[in-house]
Structure 1
Amino acid sequence: MEDKHYQMQLLEKIENTRLKMYRLALCSNTTREEVLNVSSELDKLLNQYQLYKNKENMY
């Protein structure tokens, strides 16, 4: 049950980070650094999720 809770939290964080990216894309005064920071954050979350799914598939 704890694993499912972790998975749901991770998916929620991924969705929130994607929404941040969309908002940044709509802003005309977004800096390159802001985009790179959010992109990096999204990459980390997606990697965490992939590791979680790989671990889940091992069992």
Structure 2
Amino acid sequence: MQIEVAMQNSALSVSLAMKHFTPQAAVAGAVFSIIHNFTGSIFAGICRKHDDKEKLEQA
């Protein structure tokens, strides 16, 4: 749930920056979105491997 909220916040920051400031102000939110996608995927992969190891140990 936290990941989804963070993605919505980054989209909100980009849209607000584009409406009320210069387009350059939206860069921070856009960069965060890209970084968030990569780090979120890496984290999900780590969690999946960790869960698989626990299942093997319990079997």
TM over 0.5: yes
Structure 1 vs Structure 2: percent identity of aligned residues? 2
Give the match for residue 37 of structure 2.
53
Higher RCO (C-alpha 8 Å, min separation 6): 1
What aligned pairs does 1:33-52 form with structure 2 within 5 A after superposition?
Answer: 38-52=22-36
Comparing both structures, which one devotes a greater share of its residues to helix?
2
Rg comparison, structure with higher value: 2
Give the match for residue 4 of structure 2.
4
> Where does the alignment leave 5 or more consecutive residues of structure 1 unmatched?
22-37
The TM-score with structure 2 as length reference comes to 0.57
Provide the alpha-carbon RMSD of the alignment.
Answer: 1.7
Query: Aligned residue pairs: how many?
Result: 43
The TM-score with structure 1 as length reference comes to 0.57
| CA-CA distance at 1:20 after TM superposition | 1.7
